[in-house]
Structure 1
Amino acid sequence: MDNQADQEPRTGLTPHLTIRDGRAAEAIEFYAKAFGATEHIRVPADDKKRLMHAHLTVNDTSLMLHDDFPEHRGGGEAPAPAGVLLHLQVDDADKWFNAATAAGAEVVLPIGDQFWGDRYGQVRDPFGHLWSIGCPIKK
């Protein structure tokens, strides 16, 4: 893992995922297998059972995640992920799609050539997050 203090400040938009059921550490392992994620930092919570923060890089882009903390958002179970699609624009959509499904992602939309010119498909990770994977159709 890199020392985050040694990195230049980042700008842009970074997805920050809430992982339900205390499975953030499991999510890190999944994203490493499915999407080649590199872990930069992992910060455990005071209870040592959950992760307060983790910073990964997927496809040269930051992804942050943490376990759910109902006590800091009014209680109850976090809602299932909905309304957000994480898109990976990659060099070889089939390779990335196959790695994701081999790691345990559920196929939502099979990979295929699309009318807009991309090879594209969608998967749902074991934590409920929806991912699309695409690249230009190779000629």
Structure 2
Amino acid sequence: MAEDRTQQGPTGGVAPHLTIPSRGGQAAVEFYQRAFGAEVLRTMPAEDGERLMHAHLRINGGSVMLHDEFPEMNGEQDIVPKGVVLHLQVDDADEWWNRAIVAGAVPVYPLADQFWGDRYGQLRDPFGHSWSIGATIRKG
């Protein structure tokens, strides 16, 4: 019987694929569930039984994939994420922000009303990845 590959990954668009340092893949899945309401579509453990080979999550309607780092495959260890910010455009920035902070995210750029018309801020998750949260400021 063929392996069911549904929900293995997105079927179109662009999806971030995060490398999680220090064998934190499963903890990252759990954090994203608490912080961003992630729905787990699929997980695949590595053959060593200790690391996560692949996870496919749905966050705010979009796909995010992640895996533990595998230094034996690319020679890198202790990957420090930088240079990318994952943006969440949401209905209520304060609700999403507060939920992420309670789950363990750290504010980097405070959530505030911005000149371009969004309530916007940036935070860092416990695995080093940067996220921004924004919502259109409601008038009235």
TM over 0.5: yes
Q: TM-score range by the shorter chain?
A: over 0.9
Q: Quote the residue 2:22 is aligned against.
A: 21
Shift of 1:79: 2.8
Asked if the contact 2:7–2:56 (Cα under 8 Å) also holds between the matched residues in 1, the reply is no
Asked if the contact 2:8–2:41 (Cα under 8 Å) also holds between the matched residues in 1, the reply is no
What does residue range 99-110 of structure 1 map to in structure 2 within 5 Å?
A: 99-110=99-110
TM-score (norm 2): 0.92
What does residue range 59-138 of structure 1 map to in structure 2 within 5 Å?
A: 59-73=60-74, 75-138=75-138
Aligned length: 136
Q: Quote the residue 1:56 is aligned against.
A: 57
SS in 1 for 2:32: helix
Residue by residue, what CA displacement relative to the aligned partner does 1:30-57 show, whole Å, maximum 9, x if unpaired? 0000000000111011100001100000
Q: Are the structure 2 counterparts of residues 60 and 71 from structure 1 closer, same or farther at C-alpha, using a change threshold of 3 Å?
A: same
Structure 1: give runs of 5+ residues left out of the alignment: none
Q: Are the structure 2 counterparts of residues 9 and 136 from structure 1 closer, same or farther at C-alpha, using a change threshold of 3 Å?
A: closer
Partners of 1:93 and 1:83 in 2: CA distance: 23
Q: Are the structure 2 counterparts of residues 38 and 6 from structure 1 closer, same or farther at C-alpha, using a change threshold of 3 Å?
A: closer
Asked if the contact 1:4–1:40 (Cα under 8 Å) also holds between the matched residues in 2, the reply is no
The one-letter code matched in structure 1 to 2:24 is R
TM-score (norm 1): 0.93
RMSD: 1.7
Shift of 1:7: 8.5
Residue by residue, what CA displacement relative to the aligned partner does 1:74-105 show, whole Å, maximum 9, x if unpaired? x2414300000000000000000000001000
Structure 2: give runs of 5+ residues left out of the alignment: none
The one-letter code matched in structure 1 to 2:14 is L
| Off by >4 Å, runs of 4+ in structure 1 | 6-9
Q: Are the structure 2 counterparts of residues 8 and 29 from structure 1 closer, same or farther at C-alpha, using a change threshold of 3 Å?
A: closer
Partners of 1:116 and 1:34 in 2: CA distance: 26
Q: Name the stretch that deviates more: 77-86 or 33-42.
A: 77-86
Q: What is the percent sequence identity of the aligned residues? A: 57
Asked if the contact 1:4–1:41 (Cα under 8 Å) also holds between the matched residues in 2, the reply is no
